[in-house]
Structure 1
Amino acid sequence: MNDPSKTNQDLIEENTLLKKRIRKLEAAEAEHRRMAENLRTSELIYQTIFETTGTTMLIIEEDMTISLVNDQWGCLTGYTREEVEGKRKWTEFIEKDDLEEMISRHKLRRADPGLAKKSYEFKIVHKDGSLKNILLNIDLIPGTKKSIASLMNITDLKQAEFNLLQAEENYRSIFENAQEGIYRTTPDGKFIMVNKAMARILGYDSPGELMDSVTDVTRQLYVDSKERAKIVECIERQGFARNDGLQFYRRDGRTIWVYLTMRAVHDERGKLLYLEGLIEDITNRKESVDHLRKALGGAVQAIASLVETKDPYTAGHQRRVADLARSIAREMGLSDEQINGIRMAGIIHDIGKISVPSEILSMPRKLTDLEFDLIKTHAQSGYDILKDIEFPWPIARMVLEHHERMNESGYPNALADDNILLESRILAVADVVEAIATHRPYRSALGLDAALEEITGNKGVLYDADVVDACLRLFQEKGYKIKE
């Protein structure tokens, strides 16, 4: 009912207020819909990651009931989902000698999570009664008493370690037990030497059968014969080549995707003796990476956790790099938008390591040149995963460039100076400082002093001078500490 005591101005003001309230309600409703859609997307992404990590994943309830497993569980244990989910206890699959310690850790994880180990080895009992050595990575799901666990079958690796201890010839032992195919060919494409893994990848029963059957690798192995000519040309230009987009024929005619590295070996006079390198069957991984590229979306933190699950020895590295890079960016006075972008890139800057074999990531010795070449592909691989995702920041480019150096000595593209994004230069310094200051699989932590000495000594040469100065101020004047 209209109030005759109100003036037209009063009514206008009331109408204006009402409109404002309506707009606020409409905005709140739109935000609610957006959050609900983001939640649905995140759940779908999480489920996709859970199913496609390439390792066995499971969720364990507080009473040790297994509530969820992925498809890899069946491959590892011989049991189907239907036989396990909600019906079987986690402890039923643990070898009896490990059972008491496993139960103790399960209880400790809920009583005092900080004291419970997150990564350790144990033996699991297969349905056929056989035992498998497992590397377990496990932690509580935040806000619950449930555990999420990743199981990596390291039975073959453990056997390889035993064989290495017994071997009289270290090189021969590594050659025979490597999971990657190792080969040596003449310049015109005839095998001189191959290992068992090479034969297995290509579908042959033995190295001898492979060498007898394949007399021309260009014609018999390469789906596109022009690719080998490109690789040889690249070697002639820079001494080595690598390609993660090659298709090879197997013995049965099936095609597979392989990652290949190749380098030239010359005699003391510079004459080319042979070509050698590694190949790895990345067919399954390529399909998984393609799927991840589409599903990554808003699951940045989940992806970071996935990388750390695969490489437990450097768990936390990305998080620490992200925190330091963000602090450097803030010290340099960058905008909040740039700072947020740098932090997000830092959290996933090593996502490309998902395409590097775990045994190389955690190798407790100095890597060979071939193995290091494989590690170095992670920057390009990370870029390839992220490049089609529409982030509000140049995340993919930062990931690609975080190993570039100011004097063109970095990789993968040997960029220099302003050709490297400022955010990438910040990420590079943070990555180097964290890597030197903390533990690595092949050495103990060298300490913060060594890290700061490295960037100080190469300021303006390898690393951006302004970025180095900002980093030094953080540690030397503002008390910044690398978080555990």
Structure 2
Amino acid sequence: MGSQTILSDDVTRLKEILGELQQHGEIGLWILDTATGRVEWDDIVTAIAGVESAAITTPQALLRLVHPKDRHMLVGSLRDAVASGEDHHVLYRVVNNNRWVECWARPERDATGKVVRLRGFLRNISDIRNTEMALTEIEARFQRMAENSPDMLFRLTLPGGRFEYVSPASTRIFGYRPEEFIAHSGLFRERLHPEDAADFETGWKGLSEGGACPAQEYRIIHKDGTCRWISQRATLIIGDRCKPLALEGVITDITESRLAQASLERARQQATHYLEVAGVMMIALDAEGRVTLINRRGCEILGRSKQEIIGREWFSQFLRREDRERIHEVYSRLMAGELVPFEHYENAVIGGDGEARIIAWRNSLLRDESGAITGILSSGEDITEQRHSQHQLRSALENTIQAIARTVEKRDPYTAGHQQRVAELAAAIAREMRMDEERIEGLRLAGMIHDIGKIYIPAEILNRPLKLDEAEMNLVISHCDVGYDIIKEVDFPWPVADMVRQHHERLDGSGYPQGLKGEQILPESQILAVADVVEAMASHRPYRASLGLGVAFGELDNHRGTRYASEVVDACKRLFTEQGYQL
């Protein structure tokens, strides 16, 4: 005991009670004499209060140890105990250490029935109280979450099937307040869409009887009459003896999600329809070059079914042997991000009959959410017949041009073959300069008729070995414009008429007939100019012998960069000096 002494006649009984109670926690003994105000306690009480034994001598000293907010409650409880003679029980906080304590007191009466003493116990319940407060806070937090959740939370008792709890989200999802669901247990089923009621009942029955039930999706009719989609997830709560007690679950409004899915599915079906009716071949490859998508037109071109195409490696299965390695190398660089897709690309594919079909492709890279390249989507048009027709037209065009060239050379037999040799040399120079083959073809045809205007010049002037007078020279100069006028209405796929007109122009403006300079002259015309000079100087004329390549190269070197384009001169000389080209 502490510095005060418990009355000897009570010690034995109190110790027995205290020993039993102390087995269950930190419990101390105290006694208050109502007449004298004398307080007696043991060491455990002072330890709980966090003070020295001598600090508690009066009720006032005891109250000073109580949290200010709890003092009024404690005083009132003690007064009630004295006045009524009833047991006293109260919880309060201690100032010194902010502990929670539980206090019991039992009034004792004298012979007259007057309460003369309060005898009781003090127990430290801080851990219990803190746990209770934490649990209360957790419960409050979950309550706030349930109240503010966009999803409807519910608890349904079993076997009666009555709602015990419904969160406020029911108002938004169903149009009915929680209390309406609680008051009317059949309201939920009444709002089910008639077409989904049977499926709902099947799943609900299985779950309420203890079976497994995954999340269900079904339609309901909102109070405003609109149809909504909801997703329901529920858990069966089992009590003693495995008896089902309740169903607890969550209902989520998934209307927007289902509408978005439906819209996406419609868009997918529409895209699939467009893909199938498209007049071009549509194909998708993954990063390894395997076919992941192909439309009906693609199957028709390849002469195989989708099942025979999807999943196959494109390059080894559907391309010509001589093209496979080259095209696969380009594709690998595209997948590595080293190249951008070509705006237009042509190559042959092998049809079901083993014949090659020429396809003009337009390509677009496929990427994942991170931007990484995952494959390619290509649309391809079968241009086999078109290319065949173009080849026939070009052959006819070339035959016509050759006939015109021969007509010119019949009138000027001494320059026979000049236009043909200029055309071949010009094409070789352009190829050395890495010009596109399509442009080279136009340049070659222009070279074959670049002197067509000479058909209007008398043969005796063309072949005269003597110096021409001014009028005769003007007539010779006019052959460029005359040639332009003859062919300007012909619908060539290249500017052939302009090439013919400009083949005597010079970079410094000293040429004819227009005196054009620099970039005003077509690149093809700049090549024709060099080829024409070299061929003319290296060939025989009726009025002189061949001057030889040395003189021709001297002319090019003397005027490289002034009259003649430097890159054209250099390419021309490489042909003869490094590659053994011969006229």
TM-score by length of 1: 0.41
TM-score by length of 2: 0.34
Larger Cα Rg: Structure 1 or Structure 2?
2
